[in-house]
């Protein structure tokens, strides 16, 4: 019997995850009173350790206590959407602190920020705080520490900023993948601290002001895309595995493009730490 229970648990957990996703999607579109029963039970923490809510009746009682608890936790994930207006800020400082997972940053929002969050049961709900003082906005997007978990889980953030607001962007994230599609976004300062994983930074587009980029951490691979029509200088130091340059040339310890020193704005890129491979790619 114990063997049959163990074999059944992964299938039940998978069914519950599919069910939870449907419940969470429905909850995001309906008033609180219409949220499916399981969504309300888990959100209000009515399920105590080892307790089986009524909605679990359709799942076999052959699942033992450990398997049942795993199933409850497996469906305790969340979806969230946040929107932040610029107010009267002339520029904004943005601080992003996330656990391991995937963070995508891009432009195109009609507001200061439009954000979508999707996270598993081992991650806390992301928090967004914003204030404006003396014409400078401070936007903080944070997440409490990651809880211990077994098996796979997810933590995906999609952050879309306005193209019309000068931004100073600081990102501190755990292991995973970072996608920074900053073409046409008015970033003047980008500081990225990341654990193991891959980061892809797109800095192409017109730049009216200098842009300083500082990437640090144990990133396995960093791909940095720079514009052909703006001067660029890049440097790498501290345990770097290899540097692949496409369109930039070596100048002492640095890499520069043909327009370095010839345009009103300059992009300064500095990569530090245990990055295994860096690709510098010049694009239109």
Which domain-ending residue is among 27, 59, 74? 74
H or E stretch at 235 = strand 231-237
- Closest listed residue to residue 119, CA positions, set 150, 77, 148, 90: 77
Instruction: Print the domain residue range for 48.
Output: 2-74
H or E stretch at 107 = strand 101-109
What confidence score (pLDDT) does residue 220 get? 83
Residues 278 and 272: their CA atoms lie apart, in Å, by 11
Same domain, 98 and 31: no
Same domain, 168 and 200: yes
| Distant-in-sequence, close-in-space partners of 237: CB < 8 Å, separation ≥ 6 | 253, 270, 271, 272
pTM value?
Answer: 0.72
The count of domains in the chain is 2
**Planar angle of CA 268, 271, 274, nearest 5 degrees:** 180
Residues of the chain with pLDDT under 50: 1-16, 18-19, 21-76
What confidence score (pLDDT) does residue 41 get? 31
What confidence score (pLDDT) does residue 272 get? 86
SS3 state of residue 9? helix
Same domain, 210 and 274: yes
Residues 119 and 284: their CA atoms lie apart, in Å, by 35
pLDDT in tens, 63-104: 333 333 333 333 345 889 999 999 999 999 999 999 889 999
**Planar angle of CA 44, 70, 119, nearest 5 degrees:** 60
What confidence score (pLDDT) does residue 147 get? 59
Same domain, 40 and 102: no
What confidence score (pLDDT) does residue 146 get? 58
Same domain, 63 and 94: no
Same domain, 63 and 196: no
Same domain, 252 and 185: yes
């Amino acid at each position: 019997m114990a063997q049959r229970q163990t074999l059944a648990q992964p299938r039940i957990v998978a069914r519950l995850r599919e069910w939870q996703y449907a419940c969470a999607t429905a909850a995001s579109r309906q008033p609180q009173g219409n949220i499916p029963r399981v969504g309300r039970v888990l959100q209000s923490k009515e399920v105590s350790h080892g307790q089986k809510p009524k909605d679990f009746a359709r799942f076999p009682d052959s699942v033992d206590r450990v398997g049942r608890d795993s199933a409850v936790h497996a469906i305790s994930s969340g979806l969230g959407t946040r929107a932040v207006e610029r107010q009267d800020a002339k520029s904004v400082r943005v601080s992003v602190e996330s656990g391991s997972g995937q963070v995508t940053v891009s432009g195109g929002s009609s507001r200061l920020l439009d954000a979508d969050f999707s996270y598993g049961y081992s991650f806390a709900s992301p928090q967004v705080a914003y204030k404006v003082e003396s014409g400078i906005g401070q936007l903080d997007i944070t997440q409490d520490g990651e809880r211990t978990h077994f098996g796979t889980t997810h933590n995906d953030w999609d952050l879309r900023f306005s193209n019309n607001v000068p931004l100073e962007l600081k990102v501190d994230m755990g292991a995973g993948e970072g996608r920074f599609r900053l073409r046409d976004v008015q970033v003047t300062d980008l500081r990225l601290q990341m654990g193991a994983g891959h980061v892809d930074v797109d800095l192409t587009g017109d730049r009216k002001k200098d842009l300083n980029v500082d990437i640090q951490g144990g990133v396995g691979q960093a791909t940095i895309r720079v514009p052909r029509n703006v001067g660029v200088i890049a440097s790498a130091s501290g345990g770097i595995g290899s540097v692949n340059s496409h369109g930039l040339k070596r100048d002492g310890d640095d890499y520069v493009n043909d327009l370095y020193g010839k345009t009103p704005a300059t992009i300064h890129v500095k990569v530090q730490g245990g990055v295994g491979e860096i690709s510098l790619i010049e694009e239109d």
